[in-house]
Amino acid sequence: MADWDDLRFFLAVHRAGSLTGAARALGCSQPTVGRRIAALARRHGAALVETRAGRWVVTPVGRRVLARAERMEQEALAIARDVDRLDERPQGTVRVTAPEGLGLSVLAPRLSAFRRAHPGIDLLLVSEAAVVDLSRREADLAIRFVRPRQHELLVRRVTRVPFEPYASARYLAERPRSAEALLPSDDVVGYHEEQAGWPETAWFRRHLPQGRVRVRVRTPLAVRAAVLAGAGVGLLAPYLAADAGLRKLAGAPPLVRELFLVYHRSLRRTARVQIVSRFVLDCLRELPG
């Protein structure tokens, strides 16, 4: 009989489709996930997941286990939420997930001050592009540019962030223009094809109709690096644009995105989560918008 600690590895691999993705979701290493999956197979006498065309999928035996594992997960989460409701001590771990550029540029520099003010709270900042599932406690607090719709989540609109076109001084020297204005034919630093639905992609189609995408990346920090290298024009938020090598281009309106702070409804009275929530709000309110 597998216990819950083993089965959560099975669920993570099922949802991520890879050992790497499961390890990222669980906060451990890929070899650890592989060992736990192999141990489950030995315990059951059959594999619960297997690889097909490079992706991990549930086996027939795994399908019989899946529904029960998900019910165990819901019970474990319910227990955790009940404990949180009773825990009013300002101590323990709070996991905060934020978009990569914002987390590293805005929150990370202030963590030392937070630690000094609240030594009993272990604030874990996870800066990544992936949207985590707060209902499954993949994080306690989330900062998002997209408003979630789940009823069990509390959502607070924090501010509006302008994303504006920037280019490097080197790029502009090679492509002269008057008053550092955006040109319809400027080269573009865009996002990966898998992110074609992002607002940034639509902005470039509208304002640089003749522009050619020279570099594709997956994160705002990568956009900033490519723009600084002179690869083309990219959209940057103010917290990523503070560099002497960058120039803001005129001639097109900014892409303005709303920023939200999100957490599970059950955590609204948990002391440590509310303290971290106020800290995050104070950081985000300093953003121009």
**Same domain membership, residue 140 and residue 278:** yes
- Domain final residue pick, 86, 110, 128: 86
**Same domain membership, residue 264 and residue 152:** yes
| Number of independent structural domains in the chain | 3
**Same domain membership, residue 220 and residue 264:** no
- Domain final residue pick, 86, 106, 134: 86
Q: Which residue(s) pair with 96 in the sheet?
A: 125, 141
**Same domain membership, residue 281 and residue 150:** yes
Helix axis angle, 4-16 to 19-26, nearest 10°: 130
- Which domain does 174 fall in, by range? 160-257
**Same domain membership, residue 252 and residue 203:** yes
**Same domain membership, residue 203 and residue 183:** yes
**Same domain membership, residue 281 and residue 196:** no
**Same domain membership, residue 65 and residue 101:** no
Question: In the prediction, which pLDDT does 220 show?
Answer: 92
**Same domain membership, residue 125 and residue 59:** no
Q: Which residue(s) pair with 161 in the sheet?
A: 257
Q: What is the pLDDT along the chain (289 residues), one digit of tens a residue?
A: 456 777 888 888 888 889 888 887 777 788 888 888 888 888 878 888 888 888 899 898 888 888 888 888 777 777 666 665 545 666 788 889 999 899 999 999 999 999 999 999 999 998 876 666 655 666 789 899 988 888 788 899 999 999 999 999 999 999 988 889 999 999 999 999 888 889 999 999 999 989 899 999 999 999 999 999 999 999 999 999 989 999 999 999 999 999 999 988 878 778 888 899 999 999 988 776 5
Instruction: Give, in order, the Cα–Cα distances in Å from 243 to each of 71, 146, 175.
Output: 50, 27, 20
- Domain final residue pick, 30, 54, 86: 86
**Same domain membership, residue 244 and residue 167:** yes
